[in-house]
């Protein structure tokens, strides 16, 4: 359980395998272990050393109760890459983690050799603003959803119709969601960070090779928002995967893993 003390903040990370590192950055409220079941085995089998990060605000990394910014998250990833001492790295970001990686691509492009950006956006649309406002209102009102209700809402938001209509699979997902219900008050520091101004024009300055992956049935970050990012990046490829929602990396892991490993192989050493 390595802990890096980066600019006064304790960040927990794990490493798997050997080879050139791939740093993986999670979304809102998610621990680094979310990559362990599907993405870590695929990337290590492809010859990469995988580094997964618990973003600040996610235990055992520091909670940073006084708050932090998207720029702080990007700086954390930069400091972690520098601490590895291997130069520029390949990086994978998902949802809020992808937005943080995009800010890192602007601030410190020399640290990233190639980037995969999943379920990402370059601006705040009306639905994202409404969802975030509702989350913040729930937290500030000291409200807490019952685990079973939270599981049902999480399923509707994050899974594809294909999974929702498969009753056996859906029961398994609901059981997992109920057991892993997130107390939104514990991740208060990350809520609202995805409320960003329109950054698409700025992204035109990024020249690092990028793969942007959208999930066709994503209701949290609709795929047209991810396509906008790909259209803005001058050195990017866009892939949209059918049959999966916001949790596409878990619903269709083989397709996601193949897209990542093929892209990194094509991007070269």
Distance of CA 37 to the CA centre of its chain: 15
236 is catalytic: no
Is residue 95 part of the annotated active site? The answer reads yes
Q: Does the residue 189 lie in any domain?
A: no
Residue 143 lies in a domain: no
Q: Is residue 222 part of a domain?
A: yes
Per-residue pLDDT band for 146 (boundaries 50, 70, 90) equals confident
Taking only the tens place, the pLDDT of each residue in 83-108 is 999 999 999 999 999 999 999 999 99
pLDDT (0 to 100) of residue 201: 98
Residues comprising the chain, all counted? 269
> What confidence category does residue 47 fall into, taking pLDDT thresholds of 50, 70 and 90?
very high
Read off the pLDDT band of 134 (50, 70, 90).
Answer: confident
Please answer whether residues 96 and 72 qualify as being in contact, where contact means their C-beta atoms are separated by less than 8 angstroms. no
The pTM score is: 0.94
- Residue 195 and residue 198: Cα distance in Å, rounded? 10
6 pLDDT band (50/70/90 cuts)?
Answer: low
The three-state secondary structure class of 170 is helix
Calculate Rg over the CA atoms of the chain.
17
Q: Is residue 178 part of a domain?
A: no
- Inside any domain, residue 175: no
Range with the lowest mean pLDDT among 86-90, 185-189, 239-243, 245-249? Answer: 185-189
- The pLDDT assigned to 140 comes to 79
Does 135 fall in a domain? no
Confidence of residue 188 (pLDDT cuts 50, 70, 90): confident
Candidates 95, 121, 226, 236; catalytic one: 95
Q: Is 203 exposed, middle or buried (0-12, 13-18, 19+ CB in 10 A)?
A: buried
Residue 179 burial (10 A CB sphere; 0-12, 13-18, 19+)? exposed
Q: What is the CATH number of the domain that holds 229?
A: 3.40.50.1820
| 135: Cβ contacts below 8 Å, ≥ 6 apart | 184, 191, 192
The Cα 269–Cα 267 span in angstroms is 7
Q: Give me the catalytic one of 61, 218, 226, 236.
A: 218
Q: Is 218 a catalytic residue?
A: yes
Token pair in block for residue 235: 């050195």
**67 within some domain:** yes
pLDDT at 147: 85
Give the total number of structural domains in the chain.
Answer: 1
DSSP 213-226: EEETT-SSS-HHHH
Catalytic residue among 62, 76, 217, 246: 246
Q: What is the enclosing helix (H) or strand (E) of 103?
A: helix 96-107
What are 54-66's pLDDT values in tens digits?
999 888 888 887 7
The Cα diameter of the chain in Å comes to: 50
CB 163 within 8 A of CB 251: yes
Q: How far apart are CA 8 and CA 68, in angstroms?
A: 13
Domain that holds residue 72: 3-125+196-267
Among 103, 87, 79, 82, smallest CA distance to 193 is for 103
Q: Tokens 């959803």, residue?
A: 145
Judge contact between 30 and 58, C-beta under 8 A: yes
CB atoms within 10 A of CB 109: 14
Report yes or no on 146 lying in a domain.
no
CB atoms < 10 A from the CB of 162, how many?
A: 15
Q: Say which DSSP state 195 is in.
A: -
Rounded CA separation 265/269 (Å): 8
Composition of the chain by helix, strand, coil, percent to 5: 45, 20, 35
């Amino acid at each position: 359980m390595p802990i890096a003390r980066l600019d006064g903040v304790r960040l927990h990370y794990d490493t798997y395998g050997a080879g050139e590192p791939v740093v993986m950055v999670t979304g809102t409220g998610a621990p680094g272990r979310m990559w362990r079941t599907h993405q870590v085995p695929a990337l290590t089998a492809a010859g990469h050393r995988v580094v997964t990060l618990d973003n600040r605000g996610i235990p055992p990394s520091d909670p940073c109760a006084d708050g932090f910014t998207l720029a702080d998250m990007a700086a954390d990833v930069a400091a972690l890459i520098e601490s590895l001492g291997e130069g520029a790295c390949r990086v994978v970001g998902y949802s809020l983690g992808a937005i943080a990686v995009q800010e890192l691509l602007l601030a410190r492009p020399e640290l990233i050799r190639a980037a995969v950006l999943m379920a990402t956006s370059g601006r705040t649309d009306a639905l994202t603003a409404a969802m975030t406002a509702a989350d913040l209102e729930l937290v500030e009102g000291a409200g807490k959803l019952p685990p079973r209700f939270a599981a049902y809402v999480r399923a509707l938001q994050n899974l594809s119709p294909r999974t929702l209509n498969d009753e056996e699979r859906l029961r398994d997902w609901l059981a997992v969601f109920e057991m892993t219900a997130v107390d939104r008050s514990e991740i208060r520091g990350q809520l609202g960070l995805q409320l960003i101004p329109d950054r698409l024009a700025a992204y035109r300055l990024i020249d690092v090779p990028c793969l942007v992956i959208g999930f066709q049935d994503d209701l949290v970050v609709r795929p047209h928002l991810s396509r906008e990012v790909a259209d803005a990046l001058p050195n990017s490829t866009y892939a949209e995967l059918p049959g999966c929602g916001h949790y596409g990396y878990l619903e269709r892991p083989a397709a996601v893993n193949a897209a990542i490993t093929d892209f990194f192989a094509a991007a070269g050493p």
